[in-house]
Amino acid sequence: MHVPFLDLKGVNHEYADQLKAACSRVIDSGWYISGDELVQFESEFARYCNSQFAIGVGNGLDALSLVLRAWKEQGMLSAGDEVIVQKNTFIATVSAIVENDLVPVLVDVDPATYNLDMAAVEAALCDRTRLILPVHLYGQLAPMPQILALAKQHDLLVLEDCAQAHGAHLQGRKAGNWGDAAAFSFYPGKNLGALGDGGAVTTDDPGLAKLVRALGNYGSSIKYQHDLAGVNSRLDEIQAAMLRVKLKGLEADTLRRRRLAERYLARIQHPLIRLPEVVESSAHVWHLFVISCPWRDALKAHLAENGIQTQIHYPLPIHHHKPYRHLAPASKGLSESLSEQILSLPLYPTLSEAEQDHVIRCINQFSIA
């Protein structure tokens, strides 16, 4: 049996008729950038996140970067300010910080959740710290109540990286609804995936919303009047129309992910394998199901021999990548050894129970002879 890590064709096939209809609607409208599909999607997505505003942008990196750029415009951040961020995130989180001449301060994570470790965050605070950038990694919210309390105490901004956490919540409060602003990605493989690149910013701050929109549209709110030095980062009509279709199915898709995750949690039983943990009152959306094993490479090879494709998110902590080596913290922490042990298993809404049972069986049979 062959079990792919992700079957995007299968995932989108379920929506094919609606996607084709939406695509035709856009073609026939004659309007392809910044039109009604975008307006509708933004309002639907804002409602979904319980946020006042959602602004569609070109991708997840731009969503992060445009918020930082807007805060610089507003004088709330300046070049050289420090941003606390975790070592085990996807590179884009750090690219957005560096792109804005801010300084990432890489900290360790909690080995049970892979999210920010509060003791590490507190240890990293200094008088140049201006922002905390938690990533709701793998689909579970970071410890937001503690992060917001600390931010309040030290007068810091909070930007959530929600690229992996569409619809996740903690204590009933959704991802994208905790910080001063949040960034989402609609890259095809994300839980809410477009059929190309896409992203969004959510916030309750009307001034920030307006600024992000203008900065992503060449610094313009009025056609051919450019009050700011902006960039081109917009969510086009076709992608907005695709996302409107996919958003309608997101809750059902998330429930399917959750059911599969619960099956993995109940049925994988192996003394050498550690399963992911769900925090109390947390609704995990399982963008990724990440296990850890000291013999990770042997386990990955064993699964591959049995037709099972796995991935590693991520094989290297940020400061092990060439452009970011100078960000290496003084001492080695947990994230370095975690990156050698983690393994992401196949998990997506259309994964069948038979396929999953094959994965579970092969994992439980793994031995390090």
Size of site (CB under 6 A) for ligand PLP: 15
Question: Do the beta carbons of residue 49 and residue 174 sit within 8 Å?
Answer: yes
Say whether residue 129 binds ligand PLP (CB under 6 A). no
The nearest distance, CB 60 to ligand PLP, in angstroms, is 2
Looking at beta carbons only, is 19 or 61 nearer to ligand PLP? 61
Say whether residue 160 binds ligand PLP (CB under 6 A). no
Say whether residue 349 binds ligand PLP (CB under 6 A). no
Instruction: Give the residue, chosen from 56, 60, 167, 349, that forms a contact with ligand PLP under the rule CB under 6 A.
Output: 60
Residue 9 CA to its chain's centroid (Å): 21
Instruction: Give the residue, chosen from 199, 317, 333, 346, that forms a contact with ligand PLP under the rule CB under 6 A.
Output: 199
The nearest distance, CB 192 to ligand PLP, in angstroms, is 11
The nearest distance, CB 93 to ligand PLP, in angstroms, is 5
17 burial (CB, 10 Å; 0-12 / 13-18 / 19+) is exposed
Q: Tokens 């922002």 appear where? A: 131
Angle at 195 between CA 211 and CA 93, to 5 degrees: 50
Residue 94 CA to its chain's centroid (Å): 13
Phi, psi for 35 (deg, rounded to 5)? -125, -155
The nearest distance, CB 63 to ligand PLP, in angstroms, is 8
Contacts with 58 (C-beta within 8 Å, 6 or more apart), sequence order: 197, 198, 199, 216, 232, 233, 234, 235
Residue with nearest beta carbon to ligand PLP: 60
Helices (H) and strands (E) in the chain, counts: 12, 14
Q: What x-and-dash track marks residues 77-106 binding ligand PLP by CB under 6 A? A: ------------xx-xx-------------
**Residue 93 vs residues 103, 133, 139, 211, 313: alpha-carbon distances, Å:** 12, 8, 15, 20, 14
Say whether residue 59 binds ligand PLP (CB under 6 A). yes
Say whether residue 187 binds ligand PLP (CB under 6 A). yes
Binding site for ligand PLP (CB under 6 A): 59-61, 89-90, 92-93, 135, 161, 163-164, 185, 187, 197, 199
